[in-house]
A and B are shown apart, each in its own frame.
Chain A
Amino acid sequence: MGRVIGIDLGTTYSCVAVAERDGPKVIPTRTGQHTLPSVVAVTESGKKLVGHLAKRQAITNARNTIHGAKRLIGRRWEASEVQRALKLASYEAVKGPHEDVRLVMGGRQYALPELSAMVLAELKVTAEEFLKEPVEQAVVTVPAYFNDNQRQATKDAGRIAGLDVLRIINEPTAAALAYGYGKGLEQKVAIFDLGGGTFDISILEIGQGVFEVLATAGDTFLGGEDFDERIVDWLVADFSAQHGVDLRTDKMALQRLRDAAEKAKIELSNLMEVDINLPFIYSLKKGEAVHLQRQLTRDKLNELTADLVERTVKICAQALSECGLKTADVAAVILVGGMTRMPKVQQAAQQFFGIPPSKGVHPDEVVACGASIQGDLLSSGATDTLLLDVTPHHLGIMVAGGLFDVLINKDTTIPTSAKKIFTTVKDGQTQVRIMVLQGESTQAEENELLGEFILDELRSARRGEVKVEVNFDINADGIVSVSAKNLETGRGQAITVTASSGLTEDEIREMATRNLDQAVAPVADAGFAEMRKEAEKLLADIKQLLPRARPVIDGTDFGADALKKADATMAKASVAIAEKNSADLNECIKPLQRTLSLLHNVIHKLGS
């Protein structure tokens, strides 16, 4: 049987790794990076793009580019998280046939597992090219707080991508495994994961090769994008004060602002101050272009985002108290996620736990590495290492008054089971409806519904007389089974709660075949060819516009500088094409796009 790969399917970036004899190894993407943007797009010509290629054309093709699909996967259309996320989205969304969410690209609707599948399929191909053998099995990670429906949807995404997902494991657990595997540690560790969209903290205990999750906590709306948004707010407010214009009303400008904000934030991890330059960000009515130029210091960024950092610390304290530990009990802090490169975040973690974070753990790669280790452990029948994972949320049923009655608590090691006796609430009641829920709220309706069934043919009696026993069972794969038994007759009813990804079995199968049809054997050079085509088109367009725009822009400092840079990039791109150097070429694409959009703006202004 082939190898098992480990995939970190991130909100903003994904990563794939494989366990080699001397430890896990990250598989570079086709353009040579260690992570792949979790972005998919459909071009005007109807071509599907994934990863870097998709991310690069996001500004000019925002309507048909989707990032952050993970925020929506496995959620119902009505969910407040969905509505909130869709408000900010640049693409169109519709309600699917099963109360699920469908997103539109290139005029076609895509279910979310289908979109994630595009990223997974790309990673699968990457791995196959690297290993030079077919890859069919994977361990995929999800945030610890993902509920059953979200996990199931991620599993389905794997199937659509042609991957048999052996196990869904929690990102922090994977990180801990990568950190502690084979080291013979006996200690408690904290995994501090601040990614693009979410924050996750897990406390684990390691001993004798066993990794036991003690507690998990997190915030699904606290991540790098929130930091970016703070910078955008700051820029927008300033711009509006100066020019009386709200840049948020212009989708293209907003996308450029967000990109610039993220870039500035990332650069401030190394520098003390950065310049944010967005030429021709807006055209005033008089036809005069306005540029945005500001300096952002690290201190200012820290000030703008102080409360966000503070929130991560609060959640850490919560996780510790859930498992009854003090910060002094934690022997190592492992930082995961791109955002933990921000010095202020590192400082906050260090200050809270009182120890410097562990070195030698790569925040972008550690999760995929851990997943690949788990894949290897499971498939090889290893006996020296074991992950003891936990239930991420309370599990229970709805009881009278719309309340949530918990049978299995959050953070219970699986496999596990529990039973409880319930009774009728009305005189003459002959059936009970068992609604299986997952979540933290005491109100049933605020939790996730995993499934429901009815136990009928109860004896008609006074309320409280007939007793029904409800049994919950979660196996090692995290699959929940629920049964109910009439204690008078012994008659029972049971369901295996198949969490719903929002897709039917038939739909998944159909999508999988469709995906297979389209994924005609990729050539090793597909990445380069693709990029070359794009670069050549950009170069041609620029060359065409340049003669008209040059005299106009040359007049300003801004423009002169931009032109110089554009010339240099064009030269570099041509060399890269000639030398078939995909890494170099990759670096040129974004600047070329920027140049082109700048020229478009100028020409647009000239025309009007």
Chain B
Amino acid sequence: MASSEARALLGIAPRLKDDVDIRTLGLSPHEGFLLSQIDGVTPADVLGDVVAMEEQALVAALTRLENLGAIVWAGARALAAAGPGAATDGAAADPALSEVCDLSPDERARILKADRTFPTLSHWEVLGLSGAPQTVDVKRAYFAASKAYHPDRYFGRDLGSFRERLDRIFRRLKVAYDVLLDEKQRAAYRSKNPPPMKPLVVDLGFKIEGQKPEAAAARPETAEEKAARLEKRRQEIITERRSKRLEQHFKPKAADIDAKSRRAEEMYHHGLSQLKAGQVFAAAASLKLAMAYDPKNSQYAAMFRDATSHSQLERARQLAEAGEAAVAAGNAAGAAAEFAKAFELTPHRVDLAIRAAEQFLAVGNTDAALRYATQAVEVAPNRMEARLTAATVMEKVGDRAGALVHARAATSLDKDDPRAKRVLKRLSS
């Protein structure tokens, strides 16, 4: 595939081919690292950010990976079909763009893009959801997406092959909606496919109302917007910092080492030093590669597990930090989501469950508050704060009996705590 075509695919997520033994490919550490980050969901340009590759280098690496048969591009069939000589600028290569029909070039490009990317995206992503969306968010997102892609929007026009595409896109949206709308199904799906932390970079062609677009007018920033802005900046800083670190450790080595075991060893040591330096994410990635090159080495595997759990801890720490930032900015909903995710990663951290419960309670999501409060007590039945939170939440939802049990437990754990005493007094009056 010509590299210009690969460039056109930057907005699309590459996927690992199933039956490829990547150890046989002879990849450079750069390529290896890139490969390790490919999850079928993250679009290529985002991957570039993650592994800190310049666009040119990224395109080259992706092209090589594809030529090696290590990755595939979902929706790339259309490009392949265009064959040699087709226009080279991204989606322009698609013959559908020059089809005779009643759609503007913009509309065509948007539909083609959605049709091509949707199959590679998770349910969250097709609806443009991120963070910890609730039922109302799912609904809003689906309505916004429907307005953009329901065939009625193009009623009475000759749509040619785009009719079928729109039908397909809408159906994909509907599947995502049906799964995510239902609380049970959503939870089940989430446990296997966690939603992205921040909105996808790919423009899905619709805006979800209620989730404010970036401040367009010169009006005072609301607390929510401020929190969002801070959070965005924070993410940027993290990315910047991460890419700096990656740069340091991935300066291409001149020596071309062939032996896979040596390569594995190299990656392993990389990982170790990264781990020492506290760069847990990078370390996990390096060790994953080491494992890939030498899967039988149990030492690598053990270290990888270690690094993963470290990176999870680190991730949880970041999330908790983001949660506190959100609390400071007055965005309880955002904070609740961050704490909840942090707790999911580190289920022994009772303080995170408590924070999540408190914040959910603050936004009136009593179901979630109750869930996290109960979990907090389960994790640490002898923590006064856990009991206190449970008592408070249960009181809120009208479960006086339950509240009383926890309030009693709280006061017995700490006889002097004034909050516990207050709650108990209120409940037993």
22 examples of A-B residue contacts, CB within 8 angstroms? A166-B155, A166-B156, A205-B139, A207-B143, A208-B143, A209-B147, A212-B143, A381-B153, A381-B156, A383-B147, A384-B147, A386-B143, A386-B147, A386-B150, A386-B152, A386-B153, A388-B150, A415-B151, A415-B171, A416-B174, A476-B150, A476-B151
Indicate whether B122 reaches chain A with its CB closer than 8 angstroms.
Answer: no
A binding-site residues for B, Cβ under 8 Å: 166, 205, 207-210, 212, 377-379, 381, 383-384, 386-388, 413, 415-417, 475-476
Output the nearest chain B residue to A384 by Cβ-Cβ distance.
Answer: B147
Q: Chain A contacts of B210 at CB under 8 A?
A: 208
Of B144, B151, B155, the most chain A CB neighbours within 10 A belong to B155
Q: Taking chain B's interface residues, is the majority helix, strand, or loop, or is none over half, making it mixed? A: helix
> Which of A205, A208, A381, A387: most chain B CB closer than 10 A?
A208
* A208 B151 Cβ-Cβ under 8 A: no
With A166-B156, A415-B167 known, 20 other A-B pairs at CB within 8 A are A207-B143, A208-B140, A208-B147, A210-B143, A210-B146, A210-B147, A378-B152, A379-B155, A381-B153, A381-B155, A381-B156, A383-B153, A384-B147, A386-B143, A386-B147, A386-B152, A388-B146, A416-B171, A417-B171, A475-B163
Q: Contacts A415-B151, A476-B151: A386 and B170 contacting too (C-beta < 8 A)?
A: no
- State the Cβ distance, B152 to closest chain A Cβ, in Å: 6
> Given A208-B140, A208-B143, A210-B146, are A413 and B174 neighbors across the interface (CB < 8 Å)?
yes
A-B contact count (CB 8 A): 59
Tell me which residues from 149 to 164 in chain B have a Cβ below 8 Å from any Cβ of chain A.
Answer: 150-157, 163
Interface size class on chain B is 20 to 34
With a cutoff of 8 Å between Cβ atoms, the chain A residues found around residue B151 in the complex are 415, 475-476
- Chain B residues within an 8 Å CB radius of A379: 155-156
Contact status B171-A476, CB under 8 Å: no
Instruction: Enumerate chain B residues within 8 angstroms of A475, measured Cβ to Cβ.
Output: 151, 163, 167
Q: Which residues of A contact B140 (CB under 8 A)?
A: 207-208
Q: Which residue of A lies closest to B150 (CB)?
A: A386
Nearest Cβ in chain B — how far from A73, in angstroms?
Answer: 25
Closest residue of chain A to B148 (Cβ to Cβ) is A383
The residue on B at minimum CB distance from A389 is B152
| Contact residues, B192-212 vs A (CB, 8 A) | 209-210
Shortest CB-to-CB span from A331 to chain B, Å, is 14
Q: Of B143, B150, B163, B171, which is in contact with the most chain A CB atoms at under 10 Å from its CB?
A: B143
B143:A476 contact, CB within 8 angstroms: no
Q: How far is the CA of A316 from the CA of B141 in the complex (A)?
A: 29
Given the complex of chains A and B, what is the CA–CA distance between A574 and B140 in angstroms?
A: 63
Looking across the interface, which residue of chain A has its beta carbon closest to that of B177?
Answer: A413
Q: What is the distance, in angstroms, from B134's C-beta to the closest C-beta of chain A?
A: 14
B155 nearest in chain A by CB position: A378
Given A205-B139, A415-B170, A417-B171, A381-B154 contact (CB < 8 Å): yes
Bound-complex Cα distance A12 to B170 (A): 38
Docked Cα-Cα span, A512 to B174, in Å, equals 40
Question: Shortest Cβ distance from A383 into chain B, in angstroms?
Answer: 6
Taking CB atoms, residues of chain B closer than 8 Å to A386 are: 143, 146-147, 150, 152-153
Picked from B143, B146, B156, B163, the residue with its CB within 8 Å of the CB of A378 is: B156
Q: What is the minimal beta-carbon distance from A473 to any residue of chain B, in angstroms?
A: 8
Determine whether the beta carbon of A208 is less than 8 Å from that of B174: no
Inter-chain CA distance A129–B126, complex, in Å, is: 49
Instruction: Note all chain B residues with C-beta closer than 8 A to A378.
Output: 152, 155-156
B167 pairs with A208, CB closer than 8 A: no
Smallest CB separation, B318 vs chain A (Å): 33
Closest B residue to A211 by beta carbon equals B143
A416 cross-chain contacts in B, Cβ below 8 A:
171, 174
Contacts of A388 in B (CB 8 A): 146, 150
The distance from the CB of B102 to the nearest CB of chain A, in whole angstroms, is: 10
Question: A207-B140, A210-B147 given as contacts; is B152 within 8 A of A476 (CB)?
Answer: yes
A476 to B164, CA, bound (A): 11
Closest A-B pairs by Cβ, 4 of them: A210-B143, A476-B151, A378-B155, A208-B143
Q: Give complex CA distance A331, B151 in Å.
A: 29
Which B residues lie within 8 Å of A166 (CB)?
155-156
Contact with A along B115-152 (1 / 0, CB 8 A): 00000000000000000000000011001101110111
Q: Which residues of B contact A415 (CB under 8 A)?
A: 151, 167, 170-171
Chain B's nearest CB lies how many Å from the CB of A92? Answer: 42
CA of A387 to CA of B147 in the docked complex: distance in angstroms? 9
Q: For residue A207, which residues in chain B have a CB less than 8 angstroms away from its CB? A: 139-140, 143
Chain A nearest CB from B398 CB (Å) reads 16
